[in-house]
Amino acid sequence: MTASAQRLPPGLLSVHVLPADHHDGPWDHIIVPSGTKERLLNQALLTLRHGRALATLAGLPHGLIVLSGPPGTGKTTLARGLGQAAARALAPAGATTYVEVDPHAFPSELLGESQRNVTRLLTETLPELAQRRPHLVVLIDEVESFAVRRSAAAFATNPVDVHRATDAILAGIDALAVDHPRSLVVATTNFPEAVDEAFLSRADLVVGLDLPDETTIAAILQHSLLELAGIWPGVQPLAHDEGLHRKLAAQCAGWDGRRVRKLVLTALAQRRDVAEDPNQLHAEDLLLAATHGG
Ligand SMILES: Nc1ncnc2c1ncn2[C@@H]1O[C@H](COP(=O)(O)OP(=O)(O)OP(=O)(O)O)[C@@H](O)[C@H]1O
Ligand SMILES: [Mg+2]
């Protein structure tokens, strides 16, 4: 279920009830070093399953996971996938509400308004959502625009407001962890150096995603071609040509995952007959697209 835009509380991009079959996919689509997904899922399950018991410990968990890394390395996709993967594992204990916060809804020109909006989100909207179902997962994408590092914001146009909004986030995260311990906040950032230190220090787990290495690039290409072959069977031989994937990966060294995924699209759009009928795609089209930079 997606609440329609008009009925969403302010500051939220979407609200879903998970698990839901159409949310399968992202978790498997992102190819990361072995162990990364397991660690993320374990951390999420620990919080969502045992948050109430853990909240009695002196070293209170904050139910916060931060994914950091360069643009196009799969942070948002992985965070979305984590919501679904955790919800699937937790399903016998009840459903999960999954919400995405709109970080750009908060920075405000008006003094004090950001703080009020953030406070409303964290002390009213999220707690209300947390009460609806046994588990709550919140994605705060691009958190650097939300929890601005106060030390670096001293000379910003509206430093007082930035300070207050960041303080409101920290207080809100602390309150959510205490009052609704079966809530998990997943935050992503391209710029960890712009995110407030006190926010980062609250994270129970920080995962850094790197640019894909050549083996990973080859695997992303293979996955993209297999998806394509599912629609246009003529692509099947290319999807199974591992030598081709390796050759392409060498040409794409240093690219981020988003650019690698786009390579296949570029290759489809270079020749009219391929654009008309993707079954006509040749290895040469892919190699040409890679030489041209995807
Ligand atoms: N490691 C990867 N494996 C497979 N696909 C990837 C990988 N990294 C990125 N992608 C693909 O690239 C696209 C962009 O991913 P996503 O938006 O999650 O990146 P991001 O890190 O959130 O980027 P940004 O910082 O710009 O928001 C998606 O289609 C995703 O499938
Ligand atoms: Mg993103």
pLDDT in tens, 120-178: 999 999 999 999 999 999 999 999 877 877 776 555 555 677 777 788 889 999 999 99
Q: How would you classify the pairing of strands 183-189 and 64-68?
A: parallel
Q: Which two tokens stand for residue 200?
A: 């980062």
How far is residue 186's CA from residue 170's CA, in Å, rounded to a whole number? Answer: 14
- Distance from the alpha carbon of residue 279 to the mean position of ligand 2, in angstroms: 31
CB-count burial class (<10 Å; 0-12, 13-18, 19+) for 225: buried
Indicate the domain borders of the chain. Answer: 5-208, 214-291
74 CB less than 6 Å from ligand 1?
yes
How many Cβ atoms from other residues are within 10 Å of residue 78's Cβ? Answer: 24
31 CB less than 6 Å from ligand 1?
yes
Domain 5-208 fold is: Rossmann fold (3.40.50)
Atom of ligand 1 lying closest to residue 74 CA: 18
pLDDT in tens, 83-121: 999 999 999 999 999 999 987 777 666 667 778 888 899
Upstream peptide bond of 92 is cis (omega within 30 degrees of 0): no
Within 13 Å of residue 265, how many CA atoms lie on the same side as its CB? 5
The predicted pLDDT at position 240 comes to 98
